[in-house]
Every structure is written in structure tokens, then in C-alpha cells.
Structure 1
Amino acid sequence: MNTNRLHLAMLAVLIGSAAMVGCKKKEEPAPMPPVASEPAPPAPMPAAAATANVTGVDLGNAVGADMRVAAPMGTFAPKDTIHAAVMTATSDPAASVAGKLGAKWTYLNADGSSMPVHEESKDLTFAGDGVTDFQISKPDGWPTGKYKVEIMLDGNVVQTREFEVR
């Protein structure tokens, strides 16, 4: 019986070992570390289209080679040629901007009404800073009184200057 007990004891150890191996928790594979992904760079904003602007208007009776008024003035003689030197600039000095620049000259009646004198427009390509000259003349002389010129960019009045003929 001693051998029997020994066999039983060994059988119990063997069954216990097998049970322990069978009950052993299965190890799950370690999760993969997350792949570091950088967010996609934002799409570049489209560049705003360059624009042209009227930056000033000078009136005078003569212009230089650069089309600028030699001596700005607000009162003219009846036989003067009247110049409006229109200064322009583009928002991007390296860009070319197509546009239309115009001048509408009117005589201001004493009753507040106005009478057209001359209207002119020019299709231009603006680039950086520039000057455009508009002019009116009347060989037999302008009637004395008050006048105004409206400067238009693409059909919109952007500057107005009043002047007088004496």
C-alpha cells in the first residue's frame, strides 16, 4: 500500500500541476503603441486679390513730366486748362490691377443744380504708385462760377474736388 499511496500522491501532484497550467491566464499580446500622426497642415488661405485705390487728387493749371500738378490751386482764370492729377496705388506694389478711372466735371449753378461740362474715363492697368491726368479746357473761356470734379474708380465716386473760375 505504500506504493499505492506514493502513486496516488504523485498522481495528485501531476493532476494539480496540469490544472494549474490549464487555468493559467492567457497573456494577451501587448497593445501596439499608437502611431504618432501629426495633423495635416491647414490649407493655405488664398491670397486676397490686389486692389487699386485713389490716394489723392490735386487740381492745377499745369502738370510736370510726371503728370503731377506743379502748383495745386482751387481758383482758375477763365482761359486756364484745368488739370486733375489723380494719384493711385495698388495694395500689392508688385501686382497689376485692371480698372477704369474716370473724371466727371460739372458747373454748379447758383440754385444748387449742376450742369455737366465733360466726362471722361480711361481703362488702365494700375501697378504700384501712379498718377493719371485728366484735363478740361475752353479756348473762348470758362464762365465764372463754381465747379466740381468727381473722380471715379470702376464707376464709383471716390474723390470730389470743388474749384472756382474767376
Structure 2
Amino acid sequence: MTRKTLNIAIAAALFGSLALVGCKKKQDDAAMAPPATTEPAPAPTTPEPAPAPAAAASVTAVDLGNAIGADMKVAAPSTTFAPKDTIYASVATSTSDATASIPSRLTAKWSFEDGQVVNEESRDVSLSGAGNTEFHINKPDGFPAGKYKVEISLDGNVVQSKDFEVK
């Protein structure tokens, strides 16, 4: 054989060996890799029901009058009073869940036309369903004539107000 033929034969053998080693390496890597696992898709779950909204209380009405019944409602609603009248505010409340007992704070703030506070009173109450709470003011020597206002707050927020007059 000629030297040229020998070099070609050696080169061919060398390339063939490299090709086999290269292929073998890829097979070994594939053999060493962990087999691909296919996990089943998680079963669809039904969403948990949303929690029921917390029961809420609200002031539904405020009536003023100079007499009140055992049910804490004013006998005859009015917005005009005599100076020596006892002035009642009947605060009607309601809860979104009639069976829930909701601790709350009701406040009545009575003020004269110039903004001067005549009286302010708060009551801690447990509200359940529909009900009434009574507030009142009186002055034995009589209120000065003029315009007044009562503001009713529920848990610190003014929710209703009523204007009235003493003549």
C-alpha cells in the first residue's frame, strides 16, 4: 500500500471510531437520564363555597315625638315641640340576619342651631332582627326657642339626622 492509501485508511478508521464513541456517549446519557414520568392531571376540585357575609346592622328610621310607647316607638311623630316637652327619638334598627346578635353602639347627639351640643348619649346594644332604641332629652325650665338637630350614629358613623324646632 502506498502511504497515501494508508493515511486515508487510518483517517477513515479514526473518524469511524469517533463517530461510534459519539453515538455511544449519547446513548449512555439517554440511558442515565431518569425516565420521563407522566403524572395524571389533578382531578378538578369544586371550589369551596365563599364564606357567608357577616351579618350587618343598620338604622332604618328615626322618629321624634313627645311621648313613647312600651315598644320604644313614638306615639305621634312630630318635628315641633313646646319648650318644656320631653323630646324622644325612636331609632329603628334592623339586621341582615334576624337570628344573629350583633353588638353595636348607638349614639344620639342633640345640638342647637348654633352647633352647641345640648346632650350626647351612647348605648351599647345587641341588635337582632328589627327593633327600636329610645333616646330623649328634657329640660325642666324649658328649651330655648329655635332650631335643633339630632344625629344618630351607629358604631361611630352618623347614619341619620333629624331637624326639629322648639316654639
TM tier, shorter chain? 0.7 to 0.9
Partner of 1:136: 137
SS in 1 for 2:116: strand
Partner of 2:56: 51
Unaligned runs of 5+ in 2: 1-39
Distance 2:124 2:72 in 1: 17
Report the residue type matching 1:129 in the other structure.
A
Report the residue type matching 2:161 in the other structure.
T
Partner of 1:81: 86
What is the TM-score normalised by the length of structure 1? 0.74
Distance 1:75 1:85 in 2: 16
Distance 2:123 2:78 in 1: 24
Partner of 1:163: 164
Q: State the Cα distance separating 1:124 from its structure 2 match.
A: 0.7
Q: State the Cα distance separating 1:38 from its structure 2 match.
A: 5.8
Partner of 2:4: none
Q: CA RMSD in A?
A: 1.4
Distance 2:101 2:49 in 1: 22
Distance 2:126 2:46 in 1: 36
37-46 vs 91-100, greater mean Cα deviation = 37-46
Partner of 1:9: none
Please list the CA deviations of residues 88-124 of structure 1 after superposition, one character each: whole Å capped at 9, or x if unmatched.
Answer: 0001111111110000000003xxxx11100000011
The structure 1 segments of at least 4 consecutive aligned residues displaced by more than 6 Å after TM superposition are none
Q: State the Cα distance separating 1:41 from its structure 2 match.
A: 1.6
38-47 vs 48-57, greater mean Cα deviation = 38-47
How many aligned positions are there?
A: 128
Please list the CA deviations of residues 55-83 of structure 1 after superposition, one character each: whole Å capped at 9, or x if unmatched.
Answer: 00000000011000000000000000000
Q: Which has a greater percent of helix?
A: 2
For 1:1-80, what aligned pairs fall within 5 Å after superposition? 39-80=44-85
